[in-house]
A and B are shown apart, each in its own frame.
Chain A
Amino acid sequence: MVFSSLTFLFGFLPLVLICYFIIPNLTYRNLVLLVFSLAFYAWGEPKYIILMLISIIGNYVLALFVDFYNKKGNQKLKVLFFLLDVLLNLGFLGYFKYTDFMIGNINALFGSNIPLMKIALPIGISFYTFQIFSYVIDVYKGSVKVQKNPLTLGTYIALFPQLIAGPIVRYETVEEELSNRKETFHDFAEGIRRFLIGLGKKVIISNQVGLIADTIFALEGESLGLSLAWVGILAYTFQIYFDFSGYSDMAIGLGRMFGFNFLENFNYPYIANSITDFWRRWHISLSTWFRDYVYIPLGGNRVSKLRWYFNIFAVWFLTGMWHGATWNYILWGLYFCVILVLEKMFLLKVLNKCPGVLRHIYALLLIIFGWVIFRCEDLTQISYYLNALLGANGNNTIRAFYNISVAHLWPYLVLAAIGSTPLMGKILKWMNKNAFTGILYDLFLLGVFFVSVMFLVNNSFNPFIYFRF
């Protein structure tokens, strides 16, 4: 189930709100959240509920052992159970996400013909596995207390607002709130507001600019010229941002409605003035996760230069792999690895001497080229699209836009361009502070909700295709 569906908005959400707020006791409220979260998870793929339950129970038990032997001072057994726990989580992630990738590579490398297993990927496995890791590693390090209540741990792992597409909420962030939180009308209303902003971002902007991107990326041969290629990649640039940040907004908003305060995941990444800056603003929960659980444990930058390069490489190789089990994602990770190394070596110093506009253009261009690698699945497609972006396929006439049914969607691109700057955020924040403008703000958000519902209802429209003329 996704948040941007009528089933969630008019079925699941009212039900969970009623069941949650009708119960006064926090323990039972957690139980309600757990049950609904499991139902939410099972909705798409019921059989994987078992996987989730094994994950919860396995991590609960193994973390207890880690904590137990830690307190006993038995380092060997502590490490053993920690490794077992890591193995359990990596095993699931590796099996479900990377098996076919490995088989494909072995086949390509050795000319073998091992059949692919075509394993369906459990929804959100990359996100919740990393969340579990944050708990397990922090318990191992002793920076959080082990959770002795399996229901509470289950609630954390399966918590539906952030279960499927993040943000990656670390256990330490919600540790206190899991057992001691207070829901208020203020938080509830602010949560709804944030949720509606996210819904609008996803349904009204991302889905519409996505239509432009999908149409243009599907073009073949000479039909993809310079101008269409740029419109296509710009549309995708906006699509991925509004899709992902919209989902994060919805997750943060939902969390707040239930009394949780998740950390921000995006901070206007497209106003970044370097790639280093971009990665401080884009998918913050992932980049900080890699920083704290991979980069720093590997030694960070307090090591030899060669080792430091290796550490950066490892982080970005894993970042690429985390996004998907295909080579283009790894290439995408390594692309940023190279740029970040160059920036750390000398480029940032050069950039700092340039005018701000140039720095933004530099960052935006590199981000956009990065999205080409991210969007295209193989090297042939990547090089075809990059060539088109550089004008190798010639240019398109204005008629080409009209002939591919995306010309009328240009206002969404304008909306997206404005929405990806802090301007709208600042205006809305200001409106929310005052009594009168606050009411206008709420009316605006209810309007966004109405329009989003209109778009969602329309998604089911199936015009009749009469095929026998």
Chain B
Amino acid sequence: MQRRNLLFSLIFSLGITLVGTYIVLIKPPTHRIAMELRNAQVFIEPTVENVQEGYFQTSVEDAFSDQFIKRSIFIEMYYRFEHFLYNLSLPNKEDYTLVKIGNDVFTFPVNEDYLTGYPLIKNEGQKKGVERFIDHVNEMAEAHPNLHFYVFKPFRINESNWFDEDNGFTSYGQIYRNMMIEGFSDEVIYSDNQPETFEEYKEEYYKTDPHWNAYGTFEGYKDILKMFENHYGEMVPYEPVSEFCFENFNFYGQYGRNSAYLTSCDKFCDLNYDLPEYKTYVNGKEERYDRKEEFKNNQMEEFYWNYIYSVYHGNDEAEVIFETNQNTGRNLLVFVDSYSSPIKHLIAAHFDKTYYIDPRINPGFDFESYLVENEITDVMWMGFYGSLYTDESYIFDDEKGE
């Protein structure tokens, strides 16, 4: 007993002392935590001021966590255990019962690696938003009969009605979609990307992120060209010439990060196209929009702590202009959100100039003068339901917000 007590005391005391000493005094500090997209807290020197304010104490507590030995492994172990508990608790493995696993993130037993937000349910505000958006685009089209108007909506999994039966509710995603299909006037062409089945969805969208993947983007691109064909005759889409996937990193999308569902990750793939040459102007400056070269050259270190989808394809920017020298006589203005990032260059390949405006971060945008100054021939709204149904930035009249 005495030997056991001695041994146990030594193991515990030496263990905590050595670990503590290593973390504080020996271990080279970690400066960035890639998974959480933030700077790591390091140990700081105490001063009278920072101790009095309590900042020193807080920073030491944070630093102990951030600098802990093999922190990421501890976190991964924790989430693997959580994942195990989720599996243990999931009801009928064949159904779509929604299981909340994070901040507005749900999974469902039929394929637990796929994550979703809560389905759209009946919401008067949202319904009014849809009506308002439809009226607004119709009015714009009526006011500018010489321009072509389009609306394109990429899909989001919580718009589907796949979960209705197993969860005992009626979702409104498809009802709002039907309102869009039926509500636009003849002058406005509407289309959307609408996977009919979950299997189709799996092909075109990420597991851990609401955005479309490279294959979904290609489908969306073809759908968009079909809309243009209504005015310009046949438009042949550029076909992908090759595809590649990054093998050296896993993509954790928004749903993945918000739920810390680390055991589920996506492979990040892209398709190569042989497109006409183009120049890009980001917020007035000529510069490259995407960071594909850096990724392909394995120079990704500096991007690790960013949202890879955005960095790779190009960030949300107030204004991005793609310029080709094709003399098509067509200039397109597109109001976009983040779904446009991987498709911008594809659409632009069919116009002389394509102007991408993200109204959420371009509050001073003047619709009428922009049309005139840039000789716009076609106008398109392209965004997911949240942008089109409820975000007033996409409404360009004086009455918004009233």
Residue-wise interface mask of B (94-117) relative to A, using a CB-CB cutoff of 8 A (1 in contact, 0 not): 000111111100100000000000
Given A10-B23, A46-B54: A454 and B74 interface contact (C-beta under 8 Å) = yes
Nearest-neighbour CB distance to chain A for B107, whole angstroms, equals: 10
Given known contacts A407-B99, A410-B89, is B20 in contact with A438 (CB within 8 Å)? Answer: no
Question: Across the two chains, which residue of chain A brings its CB closest to B386?
Answer: A469
Cα A9 to Cα B57 in complex, Å, equals 15
Is there an interface contact between B254 and A469, defined as CB atoms closer than 8 Å? yes
Q: Is the CB of B75 within 8 A of A404?
A: no
Residues of A within 8 A of B210 (CB): 469
Q: Counting CB contacts under 8 A, is B299 at the interface? A: no
Residues of B within 8 A of A1 (CB): 57
Query: What A residues does B4 contact at CB under 8 A?
Result: 189, 435, 438-439, 442
Q: Which residues of A contact B21 (CB under 8 A)?
A: 14
Check if B13 sits within 8 Å of A17, measured CB to CB: yes
- Among the interface residues A189, A446, A462, which one has the most CB atoms of the partner chain B within 10 A? A189
In the docked arrangement, what's the CA distance between A46 and B51, Å? 7
B360 in contact (CB, < 8 A): yes
Chain A residue nearest to B310 (CB atoms) is A466
Q: In the complex, what distance in Å separates the CA atom of A30 from the CA atom of B23?
A: 28
Residue A186 at the chain B interface, CB threshold 8 Å: yes
Chain A: interface size category: 35 or more
- The listed residue (A10, A189, A460) touching B19 by CB distance below 8 A is A10
- B12, B66, B254: the one contacting A466 at CB < 8 Å is B254
Question: Which residue of chain B lies nearest to A185 when distances are taken between CB atoms in the complex?
Answer: B5
In the assembled complex, the Cα of A390 lies from the Cα of B198 at a distance in Å of 42
Residues of A within 8 A of B360 (CB): 468
Q: Which of B78-86, B125-133, B217-225 contacts A (4 or more CB under 8 A)?
A: B78-86
Take A10-B16, A411-B85, A468-B316 as given contacts and tell me if A185 and B6 are in contact as well, using a CB distance cutoff of 8 Å: yes
Contact in complex: B384, A408 (CB < 8 Å): no
Interface centre among B13, B35, B52, B360 (most CB of A within 10 A): B13
A408 near B99 (CB under 8 angstroms)? Answer: yes
The answer, yes or no, to whether B160 is at the interface (CB within 8 Å) is: no
- Check: B260 CB closer than 8 A to any chain A CB: yes
Q: Is B288 an interface residue (CB 8 A)?
A: no
B57 touches A44 (CB 8 A): yes
B201 at the A interface (CB under 8 A): no
- Cβ of A469 and Cβ of B68 under 8 Å apart? no
Check: B230 CB closer than 8 A to any chain A CB: no
In this complex, the interface size class of chain B, counting residues with CB under 8 Å from chain A, is 35 or more
User: In the complex the two chains form, is A6's CB within 8 Å of B68's CB?
Assistant: yes
In the complex, which residue of chain A has the Cβ closest to the Cβ of B361?
Answer: A468
Q: Which residues of B contact A405 (CB under 8 A)?
A: 99-102
* Complex partner residue of A457 from B17, B75, B97, CB under 8 angstroms: B75
Contact call A457/B71, Cβ cutoff below 8 A: yes
Complex interface: chain B residues within 8 A of A192 (CB): 8-9, 12-13
CB-CB contacts below 8 Å: B308-362 with A: 316, 337-338, 360-361
Given the complex of chains A and B, what is the CA–CA distance between A196 and B15 in angstroms? Answer: 14
Complex interface bits, A449-469 against B, C-beta within 8 A gives 1, otherwise 0: 100011111111111111011
Task: Say whether A47 faces chain B, with CB atoms less than 8 Å apart.
Answer: yes
Write out, one digit per residue, whether chain B residues 50-71 have a CB within 8 A of any chain A CB (1) or not (0). 0110100100111011101001
| Contact call B1/A435, Cβ cutoff below 8 A | yes
Residues in chain A near residue B85, CB distance under 8 A: 408-409, 411
Q: Does A362 contact B (CB under 8 A)?
A: no
Say yes or no: A459 contacts B387, CB within 8 Å.
no
Which chain A positions have C-beta within 8 A of B35?
463
Distance A460 CA – B74 CA, assembled complex (angstroms): 11
Of B98, B257, B307, B361, the contact of A403 (CB 8 Å cutoff) = B98
What residues on A are CB-neighbors of B5 within 8 Å?
185-186, 188-190
Residues B348-395 near A (CB distance < 8 A): 360-361, 384, 386-387
Interface string of A1-33 (1 = CB under 8 A from B): 100011101110111011000000000000000
Beta-carbon contact of A463 and B259 below 8 Å:
yes
Structural contact, B52 and A461, CB atoms closer than 8 A: no
A346 adjacent to chain B (CB < 8 Å) = no
Q: Is the CB of B60 within 8 A of A7?
A: yes
**In the docked arrangement, what's the CA distance between A408 and B82, Å?**
8
- Using A47-B52, A398-B91 as known contacts, say yes or no to A442 and B17 having CB atoms under 8 A apart: no
- Which residue from B2, B64, B387 sits with its C-beta under 8 Å from A469? B387
Establish whether residues B99 and A454, one from each chain, have CB atoms under 8 Å apart when the complex forms. no
Task: Check if B167 is an interface residue, CB within 8 A of chain A.
Answer: yes
Taking the nearest CB of chain A, how far is it from the CB of B103, in angstroms? Answer: 7
Q: Does A110 contact B (CB under 8 A)?
A: no
Which residues of A approach B to under 8 Å, CB–CB?
A: 1, 5-7, 9-11, 13-15, 17-18, 43-47, 185-186, 188-190, 192-193, 196, 397-399, 402-405, 407-411, 435, 438-439, 442, 446, 449, 453-466, 468-469
Binding site for A on B (CB under 8 A): 1-2, 4-6, 8-9, 11-13, 16-17, 19-21, 23-24, 35-38, 51-52, 54, 57, 60-62, 64-66, 68, 71, 74-75, 77-79, 82, 85-86, 88-89, 91, 97-103, 106, 167-168, 210, 254, 257-260, 307, 316, 337-338, 360-361, 384, 386-387
**13 A–B pairs (Cβ distance < 8 Å), ordered by A:** A17-B13, A185-B6, A186-B1, A397-B168, A399-B167, A402-B97, A403-B98, A409-B85, A457-B74, A465-B258, A469-B337, A469-B338, A469-B386
Going nearest first, the 5 A-B pairs with the smallest beta carbon separation are A460-B65, A405-B100, A10-B20, A189-B5, A14-B17
**In the complex, given contacts A15-B20, A410-B89, A464-B38, what are 8 additional A-B residue pairs having Cβ atoms less than 8 angstroms apart?**
A10-B20, A17-B17, A186-B1, A192-B9, A408-B86, A457-B74, A457-B78, A466-B257
